Amino acid sequence: MTLLQSGKIDLVINVPDSMDSQAVTDGFDLRRVAVDSATPLITDIKAATLTVQALHHKWTRERSGKEFWSYKSWQEYSEGL
């Protein structure tokens, strides 16, 4: 919680695996601090999985020297066709 409040965490993934009362309370506190500190928060397992896959793909492309994302006009894309 301290790291979240000090802005040292960039993303919180909080997907509960059980619904006991302590897990619900801890999860609520964590989500509340994430929201209050304007830290991105993912609470769905499918969204978390896709986000992690996308970040890994981005890291892999950039590590190999390729652009992950670029903006080009339609003409630039179609010139090589």
Q: Over the stretch 56-75, which tens digit does the pLDDT of each residue have?
A: 999 999 999 988 777 788 88
Q: Where are the domains of the chain?
A: 1-43, 45-81
Threshold 0.85, pTM exceeds: no
At residue 81, the pLDDT reads 61
- In whole angstroms, how far apart are CA 50 and each of 2, 18, 44, 64? 27, 22, 10, 21
What does the alpha-carbon distance between residue 28 and residue 76 come to, in Å, rounded to a whole number?
48
- Give the pLDDT band of residue 53 (cuts 50, 70, 90): very high
User: Would the pLDDT of 1 be above 80?
Assistant: yes
User: Would the pLDDT of 25 be above 90?
Assistant: no
At residue 79, the pLDDT reads 78
